[in-house]
Structure 1
């Protein structure tokens, strides 16, 4: 069985973006940019936030972002297999393979950036990290500078933020 995954160009800033935290629902700022089959996920730790950090739940943030895009048909999946194979494959097995195909596609075609603004987290001046997932799904953080990320991304304003808006995140409408 195989699946064809297609993306629609898309831009959205979500504040707060909700994800599964350790003990309760988590929240972060998430910027999604999809252009020419490439996905940018810019995840920012919120100020005055006491739930599960984006670092501790980065896998859940990523999974929630993929689910969010699937629910809105930004990611579209087409089945590409014969009717006999479809008949002999359980619905649960088919769904699992579909979901794995989507995650594999998104992992290959995305950049996930985690950011802690100045004064939040361990680095006093803030931090930027490109997060990559290993073959067994474990995350690794590659800390770098904003300038290096912007060169890699090729977009001047992809990582720009209004920190005053982030400060008022609890007044925003939940996603």
Structure 2
């Protein structure tokens, strides 16, 4: 029986050999399940809808002409089943859709924030490279390495107060360069 085409099997179902619908079910249940699962993301609803497709195909077997593709006829039926299901359960679908949409928006928002953060870091690195080596050194020691100003003063051969002033001026210059790069 496996040699029979889908069209031939459905024509046999149409003429009254209802057992052939079982062969069609075995051939196409996974494809239909995948279709419904991709549409709704719910495995149990998808299984139910696959069953409903074959029930409807049995009920409307007289409409199958055999001229076109069986798969096209079956998926047109599947689309109608899907549409009918969600029309009946519109409120539930809207809630699920909103939840899914909220999740996607949060995910997209998070991705957008990450990309923006990477851009800012790249821009900051470019601004740091445009500073004089002395100012870059002070900022690296104070902000990146978090060394105390008393120690920075020792490193630079100046007082703690002078190290703070140098770091403040370097930070001010960095801010100016950073903002210029933004434009």
- What TM-score, normalized to structure 1? 0.26
- Structure richer in strand, relative to its length: 1
User: Which one has a bigger Cα radius of gyration?
Assistant: 2
- Structure richer in helix, relative to its length: 2
Larger relative contact order (Cα-Cα within 8 Å, sequence gap ≥ 6): 1
